[in-house]
Amino acid sequence: MKAKTISHTPGALRRLFPERALRPNKQAQELDLAGLVEDGCADEARYRPVSWKLARRLLIRLTPHRRNYFIVCAAGLAVASLEVIPPKLVGQAVDALSKNQLDGLGILRIGGAWIGIICLMQLLHGCQIGLANTAGERVLSRLRDDVFAQLQRLSINYFDKTHPGKIIARAGSDVDTMRNVVCWGLNTLIANAAIMLIAGTMLILADVRLFLSVIWLAPAMLGLSYLYASRVGRAWQSVLTHSTRVGSNQTENIAGMRIVTAFNRQDLNLQAYNRLQDVNTANNVNASQLSGIFQASLQASRFLGQIVILGFGGWRVATGGLAAGTLVAASLYWELLMQPAVNYGAFLNEIMIAMAGAERVFALLDRQPTVQDRPGATALPRIEGHVSFEHVTFAYHAGQPVLKGIDFDVPRGSTVALVGATGCGKTTILSLLSRFHEPVSGRILVDGYDLNHVTGVSLGRQMAMVLQNNYLFSGTVMDNLRYARPEASDDIVIQAAKALGCHEHFLRFKEGYQTHVGERGGSLSLGERQLICFTRALVADPAILLLDEATSAVDPKTETDLQKALAILTKGRTTFIVAHRLVTIFKADLILVMDDGRIIEQGDHTQLMNSGGRYAELVRHYRDAPLAAFSAMM
């Protein structure tokens, strides 16, 4: 949010020897770092050469605000033309003063003109700031909205495959990197070209020979500037990439404290850490030196121009070809002319950073969701919960099937326990039922409706899911309980809690139902979080309930409460449970024993025990390991 333009601070005299620190983004890069480490985005490029395709897409997003941008650029042109007047005034003053022709009135006249120009320029500048930032921020805000909407459209597999830090960065830092370019890019481009053109013209008008004597330096400086952008930019990128390692080493050491202590690694680790630091320091100093060389040579070449102008121009003055004031003005024009060339590197840098951000954001926006409502998909009416799978196959990666032909039929209201070793496809069945993915072949029918041909929203409303990780949203317990049905009154929620026997639990929280759960429910215990999730599901009152039973052990009292709540929750609903507790499995109406993507046995507990197959064998084995998760036995 800086209203910063690149060559845009009025007051031409200041430019004679401006100390322009050409260290674009060094600060930003370093400050960004801590965040980056957490985000896990260290491997992403921070620079990208200009691509016209990307630039065009960005431009298209600017068009709704074209009126703003037009005025900003027009004002930029006006400011650029006004910039050359103060040097002219100074030149006049010098001429008049050296000939002793300037009296009080003359001083007032020149000073007055100057003040007028200053006021006009600042007025224009103010308009520019308002219009450019407003338009730019609206564009960025729109981009954030679009990214979020796209995230809601994308299928679950995107989230499974992508580091959360990276997803956050899309709507956060990636959009932010475009800020300067989106707000000021056009203006900088046009105004800088105009300044060079006008200042160049003024220099020609002042004295053609003087112009010719120095103009060859301009392309040299542009070239230097360009080199600067590409070389120094890359140097800082490598600094960034490596210094993330220093941060992640520290992070790991804190997280693995017990191991570090138990294995006596403190000294070795400090050495390794310092080695990383050594490289980091060297990289940093190298990059700084590189940018120091460029800054010094930019400064030197600009100054070379000054010397040439003063020396050559001095001779012209002495031989009577030029007025002294014109020479002073010419030297100021030279500064004006060189400013864009000096800043060209910084500007290019910003554009490249913005391009890197834009590329990632647009790539996200272009991504097609793998599961989306088909054209003509119908809304699922109120369902009863009769579920059947017909020859369902599925693979996350082509060629590696996870489900290899699943068939079963579940009458409404029954409880189905999915049993089997890790990775046999239990959770995938839940994912397919909730349409996080679509089957590769076969059909899933709910009350006779093919899930592929119904709308996702109408399905979601009638289905609830309780997952192992017990995700809670920030807000109060009450907010979380009515997450699925925000219109539910407090009474309905409390009734549900009472029905599950959780009411007393919730009342025992610090502020009862109004207790804030903290980010990700951090302040609550595992068991408490699960009770909240159960109640949330009951409030949603779904026809189909999907449940991934938590494996983690909770204390016996809570365990009993959870089991009771579960019994009530599943009553009258078709329930699928990825079961880890034996007691849950015994109570199921149907047990699906899975192995390697297939159902190898199905039936209730008695049937399966009598048939003496895999299930019976497992249950017998189980007495040896009473507290273990059942699935671990397989």
Partner 1 sequence: MLAFLKPVRATALIAGSVVVARIVFEVASVHFLSPAISGLAKMAQVPAGTGLWDWLTGSNADARHLRLALGSMAISQIILAIMIYLRQTWDAKLSMRAVYHMRQQVYDSLQNCGFSLHDRMTSGTLINRALSDLQAVRAFVNMSLLSSLDVGITIMGYVALLFVSSPWLGGALLGLIPLWWYIIRHFGTRLQLLYQFQQDASDKVMNVLTENIGGVHVVRAFGTGNRELGRFSALNEALLSRILGVVRLQQYLTPAMQLAASLAHAALFMAACWLIHKGAMPVGDLLVLGVAMGTIVSKLQQVNTMSDTYQKAAVSAHRLFEILDTRPDVASPPAAAPLVIKRGTIAFDRVSFGYEQQNTVLDRLTAVIPGNRMTALVGPTGCGKSTLAALVGRFYDPSHGRILIDGQDLRQVDLKSLRHTVGYVFQETFLFADTVRNNICYGRTDVSDEMLRAAARAAQAEEFIAALPRGYDTVLGDSGVLLSGGQRQRIALARALVYDPYILILDDATAALDATTEQALHLMLKPLLAQRTVIVIAHKISTVRRADYVLVMNQGRVVQGGTHDDLMQLDGHYRDLVRMQLAGGDRKIRPTVVPGDPEAQAR
Place of tokens 């400011």: 79
Examine residue 363 and tell whether it contacts partner 1 (CB under 8 A): no
Q: Which of 49, 56, 70, 159 binds partner 1 (CB under 8 A)?
A: 159
- Quick one: 262 or 398, whose CB is closer to partner 1? 262
Nearer to partner 1, 53 or 319 (CB): 319
Q: Kindly state the number of chain residues that form the binding site for partner 1, as judged by CB under 8 A.
A: 174
The residue among 248 and 515 lying less far from partner 1, judged by its C-beta, is: 248
Tally of residues, the chain: 634
Q: Which residues pair with 400 in a beta bridge?
A: 397
- Do the beta carbons of residue 122 and residue 114 sit within 8 Å? no
Question: Binding to partner 1 by residue 144, rule CB under 8 A?
Answer: yes
Strands 441-446 and 449-450: antiparallel
Q: What are the phi and psi torsion angles at 124 (to 5°)?
A: -60, -40
Residues 514 to 533 in contact with partner 1, rule: CB under 8 A: 519-520
In the complex, the smallest distance separating the C-beta of residue 234 from partner 1, rounded to whole angstroms, is 17
- Applying CB under 8 A, among 64, 111, 512, 572 the residue interacting with partner 1 is 111
- Binding pattern to partner 1, positions 161-180, x when CB under 8 A? --xx--xx--xx--------
In angstroms, what is the minimal distance from the CB of 525 to partner 1? 12
With respect to partner 1, which residue has the nearer C-beta, 138 or 614?
Answer: 138
Nearer CB in complex with partner 1: 253/405: 253
Cα–Cα distances (Å) from 475 to 479, 489, 506, 516, 540, in that order, read 6, 17, 14, 5, 18
Closer by beta carbon to partner 1, 369 or else 442: 369
Q: Judged by CB, which is closer to partner 1: 116, or 219? A: 116
| 589 scored as a contact of partner 1 (CB under 8 A) | no
Q: Within 236-265, which residues bind partner 1 (CB under 8 A)?
A: 246-248, 250-265
Q: Measured between alpha carbons, how far is 229 from 232 in angstroms, rounded to an integer?
A: 6
Q: Does 17 bind partner 1 (CB under 8 A)?
A: yes
User: How would you label 498-522 residue by residue, b for 16+ Cβ within 10 Å and e otherwise?
Assistant: eebbbbebbeebeeebebebeeebe
Residues 427, 548 contacting (CB under 8 angstroms): yes
- Residue 618 DSSP one-character state: H
293 counts as binding partner 1 under rule CB under 8 A: yes
Interaction residues for partner 1, span 533-572 (CB under 8 A): 540, 546, 553, 555-556, 559-560, 563
* DSSP letters spanning 431-455: HHHTTSS--SEEEEEETTEEGGGB-
| HEC sequence for 354-367 | HHHHHHHHHHHHHC
Site for partner 1 in 83-102 (CB under 8 A): 90, 93-94, 97-98, 100, 102
Any bridge partners for residue 556, and if so which?
none
Q: Which is closer to partner 1, CB of 122 or CB of 441?
A: 122
Two tokens at 422? 């890790």
User: Does 199 contact partner 1 by CB under 8 A?
Assistant: no
Distance CA 172, CA 170 (A): 6
Q: Whose structure tokens read 């006249």?
A: 109
Q: Pick the closer one to partner 1 by CB: 409 or 519.
A: 519
SS3 46: coil
What's the rounded Cα separation, in Å, for the pair 445 and 450? Answer: 5
Q: Which of the residues 413 through 452 are near partner 1 (CB under 8 A)?
A: 421-423, 434, 436
Which window, 302-310, 354-362, 501-509, 594-602, contacts partner 1 (CB under 8 A)? 302-310
Site for partner 1 in 471-490 (CB under 8 A): 471-474, 483-484, 486
